């Protein structure tokens, strides 16, 4: 802080002038620079802390950690991956329960570390054998620690992960190959083919059987429609009934063919299995068809680990969830989130822009318009769950139920539109983000200079021509800003969705290019935001689900950022187009 | 005073301009040309009289009314809410000539000119009485289609207001809103209008560029091109040079000179020299009233009212 040197009072005219000294703190200005700068720094720290945590935790989820095998002083042998390290203070009871040697070491540890003991959490899994997923081990009770060369992490389609050392490759229950290296070679040789068969079974179940089912369902609905229109014993109904029975018989024959094929594929797959040696010295047999991915982590080296890492990311982005959502991918949720957000944007932007146009361009500015404007602004502050309740009560139960009554009477009492679905969710969120678009558009319209409008009117343009040709193009970047804000708000919203259609598991996407009519706006959907909540708090294996929470959060952030970037890019293009070279 | 009657031939007019432009400066050096008429000013001064809201007669020189009128203003009055902004204005704008509106700030020049193409309709609180006529057709009244009316009138504003689109689209805007799609016709109009506005040579190679990239003076000439593209019956210029530098101003003034005869122009200006240089007739307004209206030479050299003389010579306002 520099204080200006005191100037001597000027001679003559200026003699009586009051000399201004920088006496007060506020007159210096620097403190305010510090205060404002510090506030900004605080904001940056918080934001980067949030992003840093999510990126770090979410980014390392899929990194294949090495497997350690530890032997404790109590004689337990555990094999698994270290998932956490911390310190704790053991209770007296727990200390007493330890064998003498272990207790002495723990107590020594406690004395050295002010009463606390270091421990690590080992992800041991093999839930079907041990009944646990994780085990805590005090560092001081570890007698020996090794990294078995052939320890393998097996990601299974059910029952969680499996840790073990491969012993033998079984064909039809007979040991075909023995020895870790040879067994693993056989596994890698056969696994791809078996996965292809699993995929084939999946396709048969989902597509072929699904199509037969939907065909039967459609026929039943047609029959029911005839029944509702003509009565049960009418000749039309009897004809339809006969047709239905023929079709169902036909379908059942097809059904049996497909089921046989599935059974055949299953039998082939089931003949291959691996025998593992587990940490405790026991053996366990895992069918190859149940193995999604097997990784001999301690052997593969850095390049191999990166390959597994990206492979897992790919699975995460493209596969359906497994294991109550805590494993596998989030593709349906990803798709649901993006589709719902786009649907919402398509609905909210035109409506919001038109409403703002009326408010700003057509309506006579007065008390009533002021009231409407305040009401719209306040709408932005209403808790989102309120919109969820409204969406459920209005869209699902009134509009949806009416649509069901009018067009889907045959399916009743099963609701078609009269329940939560992606369409209603999009409309609910559109309503939620409407104020954002209206406010942003009004601001953009205010920013269009009146001289532009006057110039257009003076050329003999009508109001609408002026709006369409002059005002809207000029306001377009501002309107895009509104759209961006609404996307950001809508994509991250969860609470209302839980009421109007987001569900825990919905592998059937709202778009199905294989089934007429291809678009199913009435279907429930998965949403990343809801998925985070579900995985984090509704999962049985919450410790294993925790990394997935971070990863899904990272993905959600990435999606929102990506959608925003797309919108920003469009806005920049529009700016260049409409505002010329100078801007 | 018939020898001061402005010549109708635009060509002759132009040759006289430079001489005329310098004359008003010397006006106060000359003895009053028509001392007898100046005694008409009320005791206490006409401006006080107007300020107090007393009745008075506008002086309209008979020479100004000889030509065929393109815009006729009859007893026109206008209110902004409760405030009356224009009082009983009557005069006519002759066809094919340039008519200037001068007067101090707030005297209602812009308000009046914006009444001609009913731009004041956009202001909620405006109420008008009296009548204006465009080539005999009423401008105010029931059944007047404002949009059709504005198509017959071109207007250029104080600040250049090119639209945020290409130069080409700016010029043909009035044709576009009429639904003209014939590329050939549009190009023809664009070229002739830009030539008319003296801008063609500068922009002919970049018609697709944004109009906002032009300089201020070019933008204003573009606005003039846009206004004349619709072949208006009258061209309203509301202080077209107030936001421009002297060189750009000079070009616009030359352009107005060129437009004389082709178009009827009504121009509002703050600049006395500009009024004397470019206009045939001049109307002097004060506080919402028309004070004196007549041929520019008469008004600048031998006005009937002392107040007019004071204003045009810079002793007042």
A43: pLDDT strictly greater than 90:
yes
Q: What is the pLDDT of residues A411-438, one digit of tens each?
A: 777 777 878 888 999 999 999 999 999 9
The encoded tokens of residue A159 equal: 């029952």
Q: How confident is the model at residue A352 (pLDDT cuts 50, 70, 90)?
A: very high
Average pLDDT over residues B246-264: 86
Q: Are residues A151 and A136 in contact, defined by beta-carbon separation less than 8 angstroms?
A: no
Q: What is the dihedral of CA A124, A125, A127, A131, to 10 degrees?
A: 30
> In degrees, to the nearest 5, what angle opens at C-alpha A547 toward C-alphas A541 and A548?
80
Which of A567 and A516 is assigned the larger pLDDT? A567
Distance CA(B108)–CA(B130), nearest Å, equals 16
Least confident of A228-242, A272-286, B76-90, B159-173: A228-242
Minimum distance, in Å, between the CA of residue A378 and any CA atom of chain B: 28
Average pLDDT over residues B5-19: 39
Indicate whether this model's pTM tops 0.90: no
Q: Given B147, B164, B211, which is nearest A460 (Cβ)?
A: B147
B1 within a domain of the structure (yes/no): no
pLDDT given for residue A321 in this prediction: 83
Residue-level length of chain B: 317
B28 within a domain of the structure (yes/no): no
Handedness of CA A228, A229, A231, A237 (dihedral sign): negative
Smallest CA–CA distance from A474 into chain B, residue: B164
Task: Specify which of A79-88, A309-318, B57-66 reaches the highest per-range mean pLDDT.
Answer: A309-318
Q: Position of tokens 């060189």?
A: B247
pLDDT given for residue A126 in this prediction: 82
Of A61, A58, A63, A53, whose CA–CA distance to A555 is shortest? A58
Average pLDDT over residues A229-242: 79
| Residues whose CB is less than 8 angstroms from the CB of residue B253 and which lie 6 or more positions away in sequence, other chains included | B241, B274, B277, B278
| DSSP strand pairing (A321-322 vs A327-328) | antiparallel
Minimum distance, in Å, between the CA of residue B157 and any CA atom of chain A: 8
Average pLDDT over residues B208-220: 87
Least confident of A29-38, A455-464, A471-480, B22-31: B22-31
Q: Given A460, A461, A582, which is nearest B213 (Cβ)?
A: A582
A374: pLDDT strictly greater than 50:
yes
pLDDT given for residue A406 in this prediction: 83
Q: Are residues B292 and B58 in contact, defined by beta-carbon separation less than 8 angstroms?
A: yes
- CB–CB contact B227 A457 (8 Å): no
Q: Are residues B260 and B56 in contact, defined by beta-carbon separation less than 8 angstroms?
A: no
- CB–CB contact A580 B164 (8 Å): yes
B90: pLDDT strictly greater than 50:
yes
Please provide the average confidence, as pLDDT, over all residues in chain B: 79
pLDDT given for residue A356 in this prediction: 93
Smallest CA–CA distance from A365 into chain B, residue: B124
DSSP characters for A2-63? Answer: --PPPPPPPSGGGGGPPPP---SGGGT-HHHHHHHHHHHHHHHHHHHHHHHHHHHHHHHTTS
Q: What is the pLDDT of residues A490-546, one digit of tens each?
A: 888 888 998 988 888 877 778 777 666 777 888 888 888 888 888 888 877 778 788
| Cα A500 to the center of its chain, rounded Å | 17
B38 within a domain of the structure (yes/no): no
Cβ neighbours of B153 in A, within 8 Å = 458
In chain B, what percentage of residues exceed pLDDT 70? Answer: 82
B4: pLDDT strictly greater than 50:
no
Burial of A432 (0-12, 13-18, 19+ CB in 10 A): buried
Cβ neighbours of A579 in B, within 8 Å = 164, 210, 212
Angle between helices A542-579 and A297-318 (to 10 degrees): 50
CB atoms within 10 A of CB A54: 19
Minimum distance, in Å, between the CA of residue A441 and any CA atom of chain B: 18
B9: pLDDT strictly greater than 50:
no
For chain B, say whether A367 makes contact (Cβ under 8 Å): no
CATH number at B82 reads 3.40.50.300
Determine if the peptide bond prior to A35 is cis (ω within 30°). no
B27 within a domain of the structure (yes/no): no
B8: pLDDT strictly greater than 50:
no
pLDDT given for residue A366 in this prediction: 85
Q: Are residues B157 and A451 in contact, defined by beta-carbon separation less than 8 angstroms?
A: yes
Minimum distance, in Å, between the CA of residue B3 and any CA atom of chain A: 38
In chain A, what percentage of residues exceed pLDDT 70? Answer: 94
A2: pLDDT strictly greater than 80:
no
Range of the domain at B280: 47-312
Smallest CA–CA distance from B122 into chain A, residue: A454
Smallest CA–CA distance from B229 into chain A, residue: A459
Average pLDDT over residues A80-103: 82
The encoded tokens of residue A418 equal: 């009269």
Give me the number of domains chain B comprises. 1
pLDDT given for residue B18 in this prediction: 38
pLDDT given for residue A578 in this prediction: 62
For chain A, say whether B217 makes contact (Cβ under 8 Å): no
The encoded tokens of residue B149 equal: 């009316």
For chain B, say whether A465 makes contact (Cβ under 8 Å): yes
Smallest CA–CA distance from B237 into chain A, residue: A458
Minimum distance, in Å, between the CA of residue B281 and any CA atom of chain A: 24
The encoded tokens of residue A349 equal: 């932007």
| ipTM reported for the complex surpasses 0.85 | no
Residue-level length of chain A: 583
Please provide the average confidence, as pLDDT, over all residues in chain A: 84
Of A69, A299, A78, A271, whose CA–CA distance to A181 is shortest? A299
CB atoms within 10 A of CB A541: 18
B42 within a domain of the structure (yes/no): no
pLDDT given for residue A581 in this prediction: 40
| DSSP strand pairing (B289-295 vs B264-268) | unpaired
Q: Position of tokens 């149940």?
A: A290
Cβ neighbours of A473 in B, within 8 Å = 164-165
Q: Given B153, B155, B212, which is nearest A580 (Cβ)?
A: B212
Distance CA(B308)–CA(B6), nearest Å, equals 19
Distance CA(A313)–CA(B169), nearest Å, equals 51
Cβ neighbours of A469 in B, within 8 Å = 163, 165, 173, 176-177
B31 within a domain of the structure (yes/no): no
For chain A, say whether B242 makes contact (Cβ under 8 Å): no
Q: Are residues A365 and A372 in contact, defined by beta-carbon separation less than 8 angstroms?
A: no
Burial of B45 (0-12, 13-18, 19+ CB in 10 A): middle
Q: How confident is the model at residue B54 (pLDDT cuts 50, 70, 90)?
A: low
Least confident of A337-341, B17-21, B90-94: B17-21
- CB–CB contact B212 A582 (8 Å): yes
- CB–CB contact A456 B163 (8 Å): yes
Average pLDDT over residues B289-298: 88
Least confident of A173-177, A395-399, A473-477, B223-227: A173-177
Smallest CA–CA distance from B228 into chain A, residue: A459
DSSP characters for A108-172? Answer: HHHHHTTT-EEEEEEE---HHHHS-SEEEEEGGGEEEEE--TT-EEEEESSS-EEEEEEEEEEET
pLDDT given for residue A16 in this prediction: 65
Q: Are residues B10 and B279 in contact, defined by beta-carbon separation less than 8 angstroms?
A: no
Average pLDDT over residues B125-140: 87
Q: How confident is the model at residue B26 (pLDDT cuts 50, 70, 90)?
A: very low
DSSP characters for A532-546? Answer: HHHHHHS-SSHHHHH
| Residues whose CB is less than 8 angstroms from the CB of residue B76 and which lie 6 or more positions away in sequence, other chains included | B86, B88, B89, B90, B112, B115, B128, B129, B130, B131, B132
Average pLDDT over residues B32-39: 41
Minimum distance, in Å, between the CA of residue B286 and any CA atom of chain A: 26
pLDDT given for residue B10 in this prediction: 40
B22 within a domain of the structure (yes/no): no
B237 within a domain of the structure (yes/no): yes
Smallest CA–CA distance from A578 into chain B, residue: B164
Cβ neighbours of B154 in A, within 8 Å = 458-459
Q: Position of tokens 């646990």?
A: A132
Smallest CA–CA distance from B236 into chain A, residue: A458
Mutate to test the interface with B, among A363, A366, A455 (most CBs of B within 10 A): A455
Cβ neighbours of B164 in A, within 8 Å = 452, 470, 473-474, 578-580
Average pLDDT over residues A264-288: 85
């Amino acid at each position: 802080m520099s204080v200006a040197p005191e100037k001597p009072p000027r001679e003559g005219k200026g003699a009586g002038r009051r000399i201004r000294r920088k006496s007060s703190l506020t007159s210096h200005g620097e403190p305010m620079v510090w205060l404002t700068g510090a506030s900004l720094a605080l904001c940056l720290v918080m934001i980067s802390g949030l992003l840093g945590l999510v990126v770090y935790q979410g980014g390392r989820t899929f990194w294949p950690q090495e497997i350690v095998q530890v032997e404790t002083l109590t004689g337990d042998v555990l094999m698994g991956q270290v998932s956490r390290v911390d310190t704790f203070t053991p209770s007296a009871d727990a200390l007493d329960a330890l064998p003498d040697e272990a207790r002495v070491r723990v107590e020594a540890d406690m004395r050295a570390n002010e009463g606390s003991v270091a421990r690590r959490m080992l992800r041991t899994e093999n839930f079907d054998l041990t009944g646990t997923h994780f085990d805590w081990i005090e560092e001081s009770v570890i007698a020996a620690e090794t990294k078995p060369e052939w320890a393998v992490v097996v990601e299974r389609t059910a029952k969680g992960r499996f840790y073990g050392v491969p012993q033998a490759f079984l064909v039809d229950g007979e040991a075909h190959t023995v020895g870790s290296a040879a067994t693993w070679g056989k596994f890698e040789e056969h696994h791809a083919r078996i996965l292809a068969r699993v995929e084939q079974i999946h396709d048969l179940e989902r597509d072929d059987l699904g199509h037969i089912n939907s065909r039967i369902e459609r026929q039943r609905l047609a029959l029911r429609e005839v029944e509702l229109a003509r009565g049960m014993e009418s000749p039309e109904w009897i004809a339809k009934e006969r047709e239905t029975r023929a079709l169902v018989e036909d379908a059942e024959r097809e059904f049996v063919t497909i089921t046989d094929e599935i059974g055949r594929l299953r039998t082939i797959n089931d003949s291959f299995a691996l025998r593992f040696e587990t940490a405790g010295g026991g053996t366990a047999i895992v069918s190859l068809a149940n193995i999604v991915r097997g990784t001999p982590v301690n052997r593969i080296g850095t390049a191999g680990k990166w390959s597994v890492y990206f492979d897992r990311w790919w699975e995460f982005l493209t596969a359906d969830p497994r294991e109550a959502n805590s494993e596998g991918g989030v593709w349906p949720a990803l798709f649901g989130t993006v589709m719902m957000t786009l649907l919402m944007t398509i609905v909210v932007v035109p409506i919001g822009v038109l409403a703002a146009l009326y408010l700003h361009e057509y309506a006579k500015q007065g008390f009533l318009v002021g009231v409407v404007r305040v009401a719209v602004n306040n709408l932005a502050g209403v808790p989102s769950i309120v919109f969820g309740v409204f969406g459920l009560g209005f869209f699902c139960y009134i509009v949806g139920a009416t649509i069901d009554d009018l067009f889907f009477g045959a399916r009743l009492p099963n609701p078609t539109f009269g329940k939560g679905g992606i369409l209603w969710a999009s409309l609910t969120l559109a309503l939620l983000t409407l104020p954002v678009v209206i406010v942003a558009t009004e601001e953009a319209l205010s920013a269009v200079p009146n001289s532009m409008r006057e110039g257009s009117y003076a050329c003999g343009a009508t109001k609408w021509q002026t709006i369409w040709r002059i005002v809207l193009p000029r306001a377009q970047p501002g309107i895009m800003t509104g759209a961006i804000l609404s996307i950001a708000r809508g994509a991250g919203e969860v609470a209302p969705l839980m009421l109007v259609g987001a569900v825990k598991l919905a592998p059937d996407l709202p778009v199905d290019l294989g089934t007429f009519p291809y678009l199913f706006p009435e279907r429930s959907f998965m949403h990343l935001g809801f998925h985070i909540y579900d995985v984090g708090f509704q999962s049985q294996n919450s410790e294993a689900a925790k990394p997935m929470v971070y990863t899904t959060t990272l993905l959600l952030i990435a999606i929102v950022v990506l959608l925003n970037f797309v919108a920003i890019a469009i806005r920049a293009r529009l700016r260049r187009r409409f505002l010329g070279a100078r801007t | 005073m018939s020898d001061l009657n402005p010549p109708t031939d635009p060509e002759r007019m132009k040759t006289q301009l430079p001489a005329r432009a310098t004359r008003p400066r010397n006006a106060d050096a000359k003895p009053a040309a028509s001392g007898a008429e100046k005694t008409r000013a009320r005791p206490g001064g006409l401006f006080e009289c107007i300020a107090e809201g007393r009745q008075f007669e506008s002086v309209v020189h008979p020479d100004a009314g000889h030509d065929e009128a393109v815009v006729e203003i009859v007893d026109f009055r206008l209110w902004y809410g409760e405030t009356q902004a224009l009082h009983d204005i009557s005069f006519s704008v002759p066809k094919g000539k340039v008519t200037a509106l001068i007067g101090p700030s707030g005297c209602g020049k812009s308000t009046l000119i914006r009444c001609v193409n009913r731009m004041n309709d956009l202001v909620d609180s405006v109420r008008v009485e009296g009548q204006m006529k465009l080539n005999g057709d009423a401008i105010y009244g029931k059944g007047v289609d404002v949009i059709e009316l504005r198509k017959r009138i071109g207007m250029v504003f104080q600040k250049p207001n090119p639209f945020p689109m290409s130069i080409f689209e700016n010029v043909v805007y009035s044709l576009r809103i009429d639904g003209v799609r014939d590329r050939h016709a549009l190009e023809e109009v664009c070229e002739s209008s830009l030539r008319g506005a003296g801008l063609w040579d500068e922009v002919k190679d970049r018609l697709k560029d944004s109009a906002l990239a032009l300089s201020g003076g070019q933008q204003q000439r573009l606005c003039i091109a846009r206004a004349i593209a619709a072949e208006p019956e009258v061209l309203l210029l509301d202080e077209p040079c107030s936001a421009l530098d002297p060189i750009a101003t000079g070009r616009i003034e030359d352009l107005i000179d060129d437009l004389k005869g082709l178009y009827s122009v009504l121009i509002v200006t703050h600049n006395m020299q500009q009024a004397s240089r470019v206009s045939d007739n001049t109307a002097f307004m004060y506080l919402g009233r028309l004070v004196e209206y007549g041929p520019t030479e008469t008004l600048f050299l031998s006005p009937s009212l002392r107040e007019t003389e004071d204003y045009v010579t810079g002793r007042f306002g």
